[in-house]
Chain A
Amino acid sequence: MKKTRLLGSFVLFGATVLGLASCGGSENKIVLWVGEESYEFYTQACKEYLEANTDFGFTVEVKSQDTGTAAAQVIADATAAADVFTVAHDNIGKLVQGKYVKPITNEELTNQINADNPQPFIDVAYSSLAGEKQLYASPYISQALFLMYDKRSVSDTQAASFEGLAEAAKAKGAKVKGWTVTGTDGFNFSFTVLARNNETKATSLKLFEGGVKTKGSCWFQGDDEVASMKWVQKALKDPNGMMWASDAGWYQDIQNGATVSVIGGAWHFKTFSNSVGSENVGIAKIPTYTLTSETAFGTAAAGTVMRGGTFADCKCFMINARSAGSKYVAEQKLIQYLSSKAIQDKSFIACNNMPAYKGFADKLDMIKKEHPELSDNSIKLARAQSDMGEYGLAQPFINGTLNTYYYSKGGPELYKVMADQYDTSTKKEVFLTDADIQKGLYRIQYIWQHGKEIDEKLIPATLPAEID
């Protein structure tokens, strides 16, 4: 072995030893991740907080990180992640299960969370690890899907029902579609899954009712669901009905007039108003649709009026597992300030973030008066989201593993194949008969309850059937 090879490896090895020392988070800085659209607001809020509490002892650095992918970043590399970060609540399970987050122990913060938030959000904030329930998250933004439409082509009355949207689209052009959705993942096109009877607001859907994973807590084979599926199948076939977002993105479909409205959330609002121009923005609850003889099924008789539903979600602050000692305490104080009602109001005013706390809807008019500069769109935005609250369903959350069942493992993809009635892998028309639809819904329910697909052969002959 020649001598020089040693010199080379020695130099590298030396670098490894030296390098290690410089690693590890520095002690007196709290890094905060927030969504990009509210980056300025929270930077300002933290600055004010530090000025107010000079004895805080920590500097705060705010960075922008999309809440949708924040959880993935934390899991990918916990040490490089922020000390306090904000995630949509469906990620809470994964983070708690993987022990990437720390529970909330501060007394005042716990009381604030329990006092301010509606019950579904509170259920979500608590999570169990090794059997014992602990508070992990502090909600600060609530979200719900609603309808955004181009007022130039759709009147307010037409926006109330999908049939109206189709009519408006037909007027615009033979091939113009009534409405589109922003994405094909489980969340963005779940409005038919969660559809409810417009008057009674009831639905035969049961999605881990009472937050438990027992034999009866899930039910997806109800007549409402079959009818809704048949309706959405027809709507996708209707030249003026529903369309998936094209490869150029839903944003350009609206801009180029391929469709007249889109079902989305508050985080799509800014892009939507850019595409049609802020004065043409129309906002409404998710429209209703009336079952016809073709789409009726069982108890969901023809003529019943259904309204598309939504998940009632919230975004929450969470604490990185590596926090400890005085920093851990300081982080909770900061969260308490940032998720207080006052700050939630200010964030609504500054960047249209829909507050999470109860009773915000009634304060809407008072806020409108106090802040005339608020555009009526943002008020309509808030109104629509809070109205949808009644039709909303808090995303089910039992423990880490659960919501990934609902959300992935082929569930949403199978629902889409049923809606399209076309299987890309086998290139064949499928789910044409009611029986096939029931079988499909059975398979999806099986996924919710067991986290993996059932083998075709094991599906019982007579449907609907219980799954244990």
Chain B
Amino acid sequence: MSTTAPKKKYRSQKAAKRASLAASYVVLTILSLIWIIPILWIVLTAFRNDLNESGEIIGTVTSNFFPNRPGFQNFADLFTFKMNGVEFVFLRWMGNTLLVSVVCCILSTFLILSVAYCISKLRFKMRKGFMKFSMILGLFPGFMSMIAIYYLLKSIGLSGNPDNPALSLVGLMIAYSAGAGMGFQVAKGFFDVIPNSLVESAKLDGCTNFKIFWKIILPLSKPIIIYTALMAFTGPWMDFIFAKVIIGSTNTAYWTVSVGLYSMLYSDKGNPDYFTKFAAGCVMVGIPITALFMFLQRYYVEGVTAGAVKG
């Protein structure tokens, strides 16, 4: 019945919406796949126990994405993995890193929060000076100071000490936490959001500054406390340059897990055959940290936005 006047072609809002939604679903799935593939590949490699002709497990990178013969052998080897004559070295690395990250988490969170509170809520003579000082110091590339820090710690026997190498872990803790205080910007961004009238009414109620911090500010800053603790905790798990210099490349038993994993492949003792073990190690390290992240994601997002907005 083409006689009726042609319907004015305008896309009904509902149709347009559905089409654009469909398009974004497709795009998003592709993008998520792209983001997931490398991680998926490492996890799959961790479970790959393909054999070469002579029946041994192929440890190197191979062309197949999916394992022909999945199994837990790599993890088993990882536990008994020996490097530089040190038995069960991977477990020791995990232990060392856990110890360092727990101590750093406590120390750094305390330092960051105390500095952030001071800069955000207290007014004192050298306040702008301190902020500029911390900004400028942040601009220097860190490598050169690594050597100086190594020698500073060495002079108080906390690193490169042949008698008790375990002390270099203490040295690493100090080195990580020492710099933490200067990274107060994100926490300060969060404290700025807490209304000043709360602090002022507490002052009128006769509180000392300490009491205001302890009784009023801290109870209200659960998200930023968790964000800072999370960042401080995951720090030692990610750094592999600094730790190697402080602990020393011959001190294998006291390495952190990141230094260990990196050395498995790319140091002079590295061997491409260890790649599957490396993948297993990555999975072992990745799982706890990812779980922590997913669990605390809400606070992480809050920290990120608070920091970013105030800068």
Touch between chains A and B, by CB atoms below 8 Å: yes
The residues of A with any CB-CB pair to B shorter than 8 Å are: 15-16, 18-20, 22-23, 25-26, 31, 33, 36, 39-40, 43, 62-66, 68-69, 73, 77, 79-80, 248-249, 251-252, 255-256, 271, 274-275, 277-279
A33 to B162 CA separation, bound complex (whole angstroms) = 13
User: Which 10 residue pairs of A and B lie closest in terms of their CB atoms, listed nearest first?
Assistant: A19-B156, A277-B54, A80-B160, A19-B157, A64-B84, A39-B85, A22-B157, A66-B268, A64-B85, A249-B272
**With A19-B156, A36-B85, A251-B60 given, is the CB distance from A25 to B272 under 8 Å?**
no
User: Is B273 engaged at the interface, CB distance under 8 Å to the other chain?
Assistant: yes
A31 to B162 CA separation, bound complex (whole angstroms) = 10
Query: Measured between C-beta atoms, what is the minimum distance from B42 to chain A in Å?
Result: 16
Q: Enumerate 18 A-B pairs (CB-CB under 8 Å) in ascending A order.
A: A16-B156, A20-B155, A20-B157, A22-B163, A36-B269, A43-B85, A63-B84, A65-B84, A65-B250, A68-B268, A73-B249, A79-B160, A80-B161, A80-B248, A249-B272, A251-B271, A252-B61, A255-B52
Residues of A within 8 A of B250 (CB): 33, 63, 65, 73, 80
Residues of B within 8 A of A249 (CB): 272
A274 with B85: CB separation less than 8 A: no
Query: Measured between C-beta atoms, what is the minimum distance from A351 to chain B in Å?
Result: 13
A25 to B61 CA separation, bound complex (whole angstroms) = 43
The residues of B with any CB-CB pair to A shorter than 8 Å are: 52-54, 56, 58-61, 63, 84-85, 154-158, 160-163, 248-250, 268-269, 271-273
Query: Measured between C-beta atoms, what is the minimum distance from B308 to chain A in Å?
Result: 33
Residue of A nearest to B271 (CB): A271
Q: Which of A23, A79, A277 contacts B53 (CB 8 A)?
A: A277
Residues of B within 8 A of A20 (CB): 155-157
Residue of A nearest to B250 (CB): A65
Q: Which of A22, A36, A68, A274 contacts B273 (CB 8 A)?
A: A274
Report which residue of A25, A79, A255, A277 has the largest number of chain B beta carbons within 10 angstroms of its beta carbon.
A255
Name the prevailing secondary structure of the A interface residues.
Answer: helix
A36 with B84: CB separation less than 8 A: yes
Query: Measured between C-beta atoms, what is the minimum distance from A281 to chain B in Å?
Result: 11
Residues of A within 8 A of B84 (CB): 36, 39, 63-65
Question: Using a Cβ cutoff of 8 Å, how many contacts connect chains A and B?
Answer: 86
Residues of B within 8 A of A43 (CB): 85
Query: Measured between C-beta atoms, what is the minimum distance from A10 to chain B in Å?
Result: 15
A251 with B272: CB separation less than 8 A: yes
A25 to B157 CA separation, bound complex (whole angstroms) = 12
Residues of B within 8 A of A279 (CB): 54
Residues of B within 8 A of A16 (CB): 155-156
Residue of A nearest to B84 (CB): A64
Q: Which of A40, A65, A77 contacts B160 (CB 8 A)?
A: A77
B61 with A69: CB separation less than 8 A: no
B272 with A63: CB separation less than 8 A: no
Query: Measured between C-beta atoms, what is the minimum distance from B309 to chain A in Å?
Result: 33
B60 with A255: CB separation less than 8 A: yes
Residues of A within 8 A of B154 (CB): 23, 77, 80
Q: Which of A22, A33, A39, A62 contacts B161 (CB 8 A)?
A: A22
A252 with B272: CB separation less than 8 A: yes
Q: Which of B63, B156, B162, B268 contacts A25 (CB 8 A)?
A: B162
Query: Measured between C-beta atoms, what is the minimum distance from B164 to chain A in Å?
Result: 8
Residue of B nearest to A66 (CB): B268
Residues of A within 8 A of B273 (CB): 251, 271, 274-275
Residues of A within 8 A of B60 (CB): 248, 251-252, 255, 275
A69 with B54: CB separation less than 8 A: no
A277 with B271: CB separation less than 8 A: no
Q: Which of A25, A252, A278 contacts B163 (CB 8 A)?
A: A25
A73 to B251 CA separation, bound complex (whole angstroms) = 12
Residues of B within 8 A of A33 (CB): 250
A408 to B249 CA separation, bound complex (whole angstroms) = 24
A270 to B52 CA separation, bound complex (whole angstroms) = 16
**With A25-B163, A26-B163, A64-B84 given, is the CB distance from A248 to B54 under 8 Å?**
no
Residues of A within 8 A of B61 (CB): 248, 252
Residues of B within 8 A of A80 (CB): 154, 160-162, 248, 250
A66 with B163: CB separation less than 8 A: no
A15 with B156: CB separation less than 8 A: yes
Residues of B within 8 A of A31 (CB): 162
**With A251-B273, A278-B54 given, is the CB distance from A23 to B85 under 8 Å?**
no
